[in-house]
């Protein structure tokens, strides 16, 4: 299953990848933190 393959343990889980390497993973719904990380990696 996809959740097992991606090591997802909670919902929601956000993962950011650069090429094929996972560079960030975040569990939960902290919108401000998520927005900050998206801006950081853009």
Q: How far apart are CA 17 and CA 23, in angstroms?
A: 5
Quick one: pLDDT at residue 40?
93
Please, which pLDDT band fits residue 42 given cuts at 50, 70 and 90? Answer: confident
Write down the number of H helices and E strands in the chain: 2, 2
What is the pTM assigned to this prediction? Answer: 0.72
pLDDT in tens, 9-40: 899 999 999 999 999 999 998 999 999 999 99
**Total structural domains within the chain:** 1
| For residue 12, cis peptide bond before it (omega within 30 degrees of 0) | yes
Domain of 19, in residue numbers: 1-41
Between residues 1 and 39, which one has the greater pLDDT?
39
Quick one: pLDDT at residue 20?
92
CB atoms within 10 A of CB 26: 15
Contact at 8 Å (CB) between 12 and 25? Answer: no
């Amino acid at each position: 299953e996809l959740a097992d393959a991606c090591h997802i343990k909670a919902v929601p889980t956000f993962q950011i990848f650069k090429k094929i390497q996972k560079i960030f993973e975040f569990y939960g719904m902290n919108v401000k933190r998520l927005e900050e990380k998206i801006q950081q990696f853009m």
